[in-house]
Amino acid sequence: MTSETSRDAALRAFLQLLEEMPFERIDLADVAERAGLPLSELRAECASTRDLLAAFMRATDRQVLAAGPAGEDITEEPPQERLLEVLMRRLDALEPHRAAVRSLSRSARRNPLLALKLLDLGTRSQTWMLAAAGVPSTGLAGAVRARGLAVLFARILAIWLDDEDPGLSRTMAALDRELANGGKLLGMMDDLAYIAIPGRTRRRAAATERPDAEPARADA
């Protein structure tokens, strides 16, 4: 088994175990057994279950970055539009692992140290999401944007976990609203008047056309 395959097997095993039990109960021996790896080989790939958690975040980052603009050219859209598209792609990437994300969310509510670790990992990931959306992510301002976006996305995840609509209308409406409310504070937008711009993206149009979707507003 190659090193790459070993990492993939370890991550798959970790995510499967997360669906079955809380994060704090997962042992490295459990991961090795589920992955079909000797402990020595697993040790070559990670130092702890927190390493596997970080690997999950990195794998999600790579999937989002590799996906591109979901078949649409968003390069001419305002920053908020681009961020909405990128973050919706992130939710698409997380969809197969919804049960694992739900388990992590429950554990984080009980475990402040895990919550802080997830915030730190989320901030790193959102730095890449900002870059994918063409929003400056360097320096102190970039760090503030990434941390703010990590907190925002954590709130969206809580809604997404309970959103049973295949079109995710409630999640998209909430994300739209959160980005509008936080945009000026985070310095992500030059002008929130984008709401009046015609030719909205497919995702936003789908969200606003649904009767149960909440309307976006720009009262930040």
pLDDT score, position 202? 43
Angle between helices 98-110 and 139-161 (to 10 degrees): 110
Q: Which domain holds residue 205?
A: 56-209
Pair (38, 109) in one structural domain: no
Which CATH number does the domain housing residue 7 bear? 1.10.10
Pair (205, 99) in one structural domain: yes
Q: What are phi and psi of 30, to 5 degrees?
A: -65, -40
Pair (137, 28) in one structural domain: no
Contact 216, 173 (CB under 8 A): yes
- Residue at 214 is within a domain: no
Pair (2, 84) in one structural domain: no
Q: Summarize pLDDT for 129-158 with one digit per residue, the tens.
A: 999 999 888 888 889 899 999 999 999 999
Pair (136, 193) in one structural domain: yes
Residues 5-44 as b/e (b if ≥16 CB within 10 A, e otherwise) read: ebbbbbbebbbbbbeeeebeebebebbbebbebeeebbee
CB atoms within 10 A of CB 155: 12
Pair (94, 151) in one structural domain: yes
Pair (119, 21) in one structural domain: no
pLDDT score, position 3? 46
Pair (62, 43) in one structural domain: no
Tens-digit pLDDT string for the chain (220 aa): 444 589 999 999 999 999 999 999 999 999 999 999 999 999 999 999 999 999 999 999 999 999 875 445 555 678 889 999 999 999 999 999 999 999 999 999 999 999 999 999 999 999 999 999 998 888 888 898 999 999 999 999 999 999 999 999 999 999 999 998 876 555 544 433 333 334 444 444 444 444 454 444 434 3
Pair (15, 119) in one structural domain: no
Pair (123, 41) in one structural domain: no
pLDDT score, position 73? 53
In total, how many domains does the chain have?
Answer: 2
Pair (69, 140) in one structural domain: yes
User: Where a domain ends, among 13, 30, 47?
Assistant: 47
pLDDT score, position 190? 40
Pair (151, 78) in one structural domain: yes
- Residue at 176 is within a domain: yes
pLDDT score, position 64? 97
Q: Summarize pLDDT for 43-78 with one digit per residue, the tens.
A: 999 999 999 999 999 999 999 999 875 445 555 678
Nearest to 218 by CA among 193, 199, 190, 186: 193
pLDDT score, position 70? 44
- Residue at 218 is within a domain: no
- Residue at 217 is within a domain: no
